[in-house]
Amino acid sequence: MTLASPAHGPDEQLRISFEFFPPKSPDMEDQLWQTVDDLSDWNPDFVSVTYGAGGTTKAPTFAAVERLISVNGLPTASHLTCVDADKAETHKVIEDLRALGVRHIVALRGDPAAGIGTAYAPHPNGYANAAELVVGLKEIGGFEISVSAYPEKHPESADVARDIEMLKRKADAGADRALTQFFFDNDVFERYMDQVRAAGVKIPVIPGIMPIQNLTQLKRFASRCGSSVPSFLDARFAGYDDKPEDRAKVAADVAAEQIEDLRRRGIHDIHLYTMNRSALVSAVLEKVGKVKVKRAQAGAAA
């Protein structure tokens, strides 16, 4: 099915946020800032910037966060992990982020420094997990706090029920909302939310949507993240390997259809994983009837 028009009325019903990652090269930096410029006029509620395990991307994360706030004038959340850091180091990062103007933190445990799939060991003098990190952030004060949620469970969790127990701990500690790992089957998300609410978790849980830039690469990435890629996606993208323009249209339709179905189910907040690329994200938002609002930048570009 291709969406001809949005299934809902005013675009104000759809609130969006974007995730970016810090660039690792000059070319990637140019791409990030072009993407930010392109997407700013979609009027996101906030944007977030990822942060590597043990602060491995600390400097570029800080630079990106500072520019998003001071130049682009966007409400900006910084991811923060507690892996491989003691509490004093983590508190120093928190205060450094505050000095940059950050008032919203996405609190995460973080992947093991040795990589996804390796054993996680908490720092003996640090926060053992994201729930403890939320407790620490609340004690420090002055921050809005988002956390992660996993409709198909975190790869290290024994089962969904135990995963939801951790989400409840984060919510009970004072988190304001949860942002989910990406998924493609809305029935999976709805069943998950039934379990989340039954467990007494009352905070908003915002679906994470990943527009598909490259299906083959996505499958590799999803296998590491614990997300499944339904077989219907193979059928949707079949025959378009050598047709990039047609493939992009299919990708935009797939994401737009997922968002519209979520809206029919009563969901009106969406977190978009941009992969630092704007064209596909913009195409999706156009298809669901979102309207651009010209934003004024906070200052001259650096």
Catalytic positions, written as ranges? 19
Is residue 282 within 8 A of residue 248, CB to CB? The reply is no
Q: What is the CA radius of gyration of the chain?
A: 19
Q: Give dist(CA 251, CA 191) in Å, integer.
A: 25
Amino acid in position 191: R
Is residue 299 within 8 A of residue 67, CB to CB? The reply is no
Q: Give dist(CA 195, CA 197) in Å, integer.
A: 6
Dihedral class, residue 43 (left if φ above 0, else alpha if ψ from -120 to 50, else beta):
left
For residue 35, the Cα-to-chain-centroid distance in whole angstroms is 16
Q: Give dist(CA 169, CA 201) in Å, integer.
A: 9
Is residue 65 within 8 A of residue 76, CB to CB? The reply is yes
Q: What are the b/e assignments for 20-33, b being 16+ CB within 10 Å? A: bbbbeeeeebebbb
Closest CA to 148 of 77, 42, 211: 77
